[in-house]
């Protein structure tokens, strides 16, 4: 945007018409056009860094996000900020303060002594038993706790390459940052004492990987349906397309819901369930891409190169897979990338209803589900941090997808 304004007023630069522009491949052209769009590039960097951080989430997260890492001394705790200075002076190393839990004062003697329901009534109505009163923390501003980098913590697997008996699990126990003693909760904790910041980092990767699995499944279904339907045409096409039309007409989220309910009656582990949901979301989402591919192949199958391949004795399968689909590959790639946010939204909505992934798993949908709780809305507003990350992630995906669509369109330069 800014660069285009500057280019309007700046000195006129003559475009060098060198050879490389004309000999460049399709992907190089797309890349060059993409690089010209500032919003897309910025969103791309944001996206890449979010995904990098979430892929190495155990390294970037200071605390184990499972119940093992739950801090029982700091449940429902507010976020702890970094400080660089306070009344005692400036410190180059950032620090936070020590906290200690307030013991709720319940006068058992009064209850036992004067006895009766009146005292009990007064106790319950005073709010001392409510969960927010039970978890009051005193922050001791005299005792600093300095933040340290590359601290030792819980052991985690950095990358797991182990396939079929081979044990290539890279394990490490260093974390980017931590405090000397105790723990640091950048975004506070939930009611179990699990760190919201660490959970969110882990959740992003799980959500993105579900979307990847779903999109791969979707790609294969739509290539299969679109390819067969377009290549053979006629009656096969009519049957497959009316089936596609029927799938397109039924609202998808209720269908996902029915499949999720059916899955929940089976006895699946968390990982199997996770893949099953991804496969269901992917397999039912083939309609749009399948139709586009079919239209493309219908026009393309009368070309000379298809006839040549047929005369050479290629099988139909080989012609579809090696000749027809690659001629549409740039559109397929772009369409897949554009669909990323929608698949993530589908998973999130399912988990939000409590039927996708469920509580011990860290996925964005599970974390967003908590935003519905009035208690969290009023007393633990820091649990809305995952919502923020979610919106940023989806925005980044949408911007990158939009820039890519413009870049992949060969006529976009005329606009």
Partner 1 sequence: MIADFFTSTWLLWVLLSVAGFLFWRSRSSKYFLYVFNRYLLALMTLLIVSGIVFSLMEVLPGDCAEKYIAYKSSQGEMITQADIAAERSRMGLDRSLIVRWSSWITDLTLRGDLGFSCAKRQSVNIALGDRFWMSFGFCIAGLLFAYLIAVPFGILSAYMINKPWLDKNPKYNKKQRWINSIGLSFNKVLDLKLRMISYLGLALPNFLLALSIILLYVFAGEPVPTGLFSDQWSAEPWFAVSGFQYGKLTDFLSHIWLPIFVIGWAATALQLQTVRALVVDESNKLYVDAARARGVDGMSLWVGYPVRHSISPLFNSIGFDFQRIFNDLPIVAIVIGMTDSAALLIEALAMTNDQEMAAAILFLVALVVISMNFITDIVLAAVDPRVRNSVLG
- CB of 127 or CB of 374, closer to partner 1: 374
Q: Does 387 bind partner 1 (CB under 8 A)?
A: yes
Contact flags string 212-251 toward partner 1, x per CB under 8 A: ------------------------------xx-xxxxxxx
Angle at 56 between CA 55 and CA 57, to 5 degrees: 90
> Among the candidate windows 110-118, 134-142, 290-298, 345-353, which touches partner 1 by CB under 8 A?
345-353
Stretch that binds partner 1, among 134-142, 225-233, 314-322, 388-396 (CB under 8 A): 388-396
Min CB(396)–partner 1 separation in Å = 9
Q: Tell me the number of residues near partner 1 by CB under 8 A.
A: 47
Instruction: Please give the angle made by the CA atoms of 341, 347 and 350, to the nearest 5 degrees.
Output: 140
By CB under 8 A, residue 123 contacts partner 1: no
What's the rounded Cα separation, in Å, for the pair 150 and 108?
47
Helices 38-55 and 385-408 meet at what angle, rounded to 10? 130
Which one of 88, 265, 269, 302 is in contact with partner 1 (CB under 8 A)? 265
CB distance 389 to 200 below 8 Å: yes
Of these, 74, 95, 205, 399, which contacts partner 1 (CB under 8 A)? 399
Query: Rounded distance, CA 408 to CA 406, Å?
Result: 6
Task: Give whichever of 78 and 247 is closer to partner 1, judged by the CB atom.
Answer: 247
Q: Give the angle 259-264-268 at the CA atoms, nearest 5°.
A: 115
Does residue 103 belong to the site contacting partner 1 (CB under 8 A)? Answer: no
Is position 15 an interface residue for partner 1 (rule: CB under 8 A)?
A: no
Answer yes or no whether residue 394 interacts with partner 1 by CB under 8 A.
yes
Q: What is the DSSP letter of 309?
A: H
End-to-end CA distance of the chain: 15
CB of 190 to partner 1, least distance (A): 17
Residue 127 interacts with partner 1 (CB under 8 A)?
Answer: no
Region for 76 from its dihedrals, namely left if φ exceeds 0, alpha if ψ lies in -120 to 50, beta otherwise: left
Q: Is 40 helix (H, G, I), strand (E, B) or coil?
A: helix
Site string for partner 1, 155-174 (x = CB under 8 A): --------------------
Confirm or reject binding of residue 299 to partner 1 (CB under 8 A): no
Residue 368 interacts with partner 1 (CB under 8 A)?
yes
Q: What are phi and psi of 51, to 5 degrees?
A: -70, -40
Which residues on neighbouring strands pair with residue 101, listed in sequence order?
137
**For residues 314 and 306, what is the distance between their CA atoms, to the nearest angstrom?**
9
Residues 107, 111, 117, 119: is their CA dihedral positive or negative?
negative
Residues that bind partner 1 (CB under 8 A): 1, 4-5, 8, 242-243, 245-255, 257-259, 261-262, 265, 341, 345, 348-349, 352-355, 368, 371-372, 374, 377-378, 387, 390-391, 394-395, 398-399, 402, 414-415
């Amino acid at each position: 945007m800014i660069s285009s304004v500057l280019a309007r007023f700046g000195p006129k630069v003559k475009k060098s018409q060198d050879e490389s522009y004309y000999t460049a491949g399709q992907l190089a052209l797309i890349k060059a056009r993409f690089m010209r769009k500032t919003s897309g590039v910025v969103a791309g960097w944001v996206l890449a860094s979010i995904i990098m951080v979430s892929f190495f989430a155990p390294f970037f997260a200071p605390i184990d996000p499972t119940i093992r890492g739950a801090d029982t001394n700091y449940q429902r705790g507010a976020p702890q900020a970094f400080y660089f200075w306070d009344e005692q002076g400036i410190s180059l190393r950032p620090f936070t303060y020590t906290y200690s839990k307030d013991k709720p004062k319940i006068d058992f003697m009064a209850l036992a002594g004067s006895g009766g329901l009146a005292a009990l009534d007064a106790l319950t109505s005073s709010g001392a038993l409510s969960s927010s009163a039970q978890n009051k923390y005193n922050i001791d501003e005299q005792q600093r706790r300095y933040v340290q980098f590359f601290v030792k913590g819980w052991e985690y697997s950095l990358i797991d390459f182990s396939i079929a008996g081979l044990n290539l699990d890279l394990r490490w126990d260093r974390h980017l940052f931590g405090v000397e003693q105790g723990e640091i909760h950048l975004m506070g904790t939930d009611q179990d004492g699990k760190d919201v910041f660490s959970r969110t980092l882990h959740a992003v990767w799980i959500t993105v990987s579900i979307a990847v699995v779903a999109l791969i499944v979707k790609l294969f279904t739509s290539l299969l349906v679109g390819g067969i339907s377009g290549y053979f045409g006629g009656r096969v096409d009519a049957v497959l397309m009316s089936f596609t039309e029927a799938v397109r007409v039924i609202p998808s989220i209720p269908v996902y819901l029915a499949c999720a309910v059916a899955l929940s009656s089976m006895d699946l582990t968390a990982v199997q369930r996770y893949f099953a949901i991804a496969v269901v979301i992917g397999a039912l989402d083939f309609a749009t891409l399948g139709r586009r591919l079919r239209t493309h192949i219908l026009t393309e199958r009368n070309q000379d190169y298809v006839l040549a391949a047929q005369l050479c004795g290629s099988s139909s399968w080989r012609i579809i897979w090696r000749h027809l689909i690659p001629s549409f590959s740039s559109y397929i790639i772009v369409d897949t990338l554009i669909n990323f946010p929608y698949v993530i939204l589908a998973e999130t909505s399912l988990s939000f209803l409590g039927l996708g992934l469920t509580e011990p798993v860290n996925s964005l949908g599970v974390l967003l589900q908590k935003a519905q709780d009035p208690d969290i809305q009023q007393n633990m507003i820091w649990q809305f941090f995952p919502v923020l990350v979610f919106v940023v992630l989806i925005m980044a995906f949408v911007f990158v997808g939009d820039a890519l669509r413009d870049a992949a369109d060969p006529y976009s330069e005329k606009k």
